[in-house]
C-alpha cells in the first residue's frame, strides 16, 4: 500500500488562492455586466442584440462556475484539512499506545 500524505499548509494556500481568484473573476465579470447594461440602451441593432444574448449566456455560466469553485473551497476548508488533521491525531494517539 502506498503512503499518502497531505500537506495541510499547501491545502490552505490552494484554498485561499482559489477563493481570491474566484472573487477576482466574479468582480471582473460584474464590471463587464455593468458595462454591457450601459451599452444596451445605446446599441440598437441585430448585432447589438446578438452581443447582449451572448453576454447574458456568459454571465449565466459564470454563476455556475463561481458556485462550483466556492463549493470546492468549502470542501477543502471544512472537510479535507480538518478530516486529515483529525485522522492523523487519532493515528498518533493509537501508535503511542504501542510504544
pLDDT digits (tens, 9 = 90+) for 57-97: 888 888 889 999 999 999 888 888 777 667 777 767 777 77
Domain annotation for the chain: domains and CATH numbers: 8-96 (1.10.287)
The predicted model scores a pTM of 0.70
Q: What is the predicted pLDDT for the residue at 89? A: 73
Structure-model confidence comparison of residues 10 and 18, the more confident one: 18
Torsion-angle region of 2 (φ positive above 0: left; ψ -120 to 50: alpha; else: beta): beta
Q: Quick one: the chain helix, strand, coil %, rounded to 5?
A: 85, 0, 15
Q: What is the predicted pLDDT for the residue at 48? A: 79
Rounded Cα–Cα distance for residues 68 and 61 (Å): 11
Judged against a pLDDT cut of 90, whether residue 13 lies above it is answered with: yes
Amino acid at each position: 500500500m502506498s503512503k499518502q500524505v497531505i500537506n495541510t499548509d499547501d491545502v490552505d494556500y490552494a484554498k485561499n488562492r482559489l477563493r481570491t481568484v474566484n472573487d477576482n473573476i466574479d468582480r471582473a465579470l460584474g464590471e463587464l455586466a455593468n458595462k454591457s447594461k450601459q451599452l444596451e440602451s445605446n446599441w440598437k441593432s441585430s448585432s447589438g442584440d446578438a452581443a447582449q444574448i451572448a453576454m447574458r449566456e456568459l454571465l449565466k455560466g459564470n454563476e455556475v462556475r463561481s458556485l462550483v469553485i466556492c463549493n470546492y473551497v468549502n470542501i477543502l476548508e471544512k472537510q479535507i484539512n480538518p478530516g486529515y488533521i483529525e485522522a492523523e491525531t487519532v493515528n498518533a494517539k493509537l501508535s503511542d499506545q504501542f510504544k
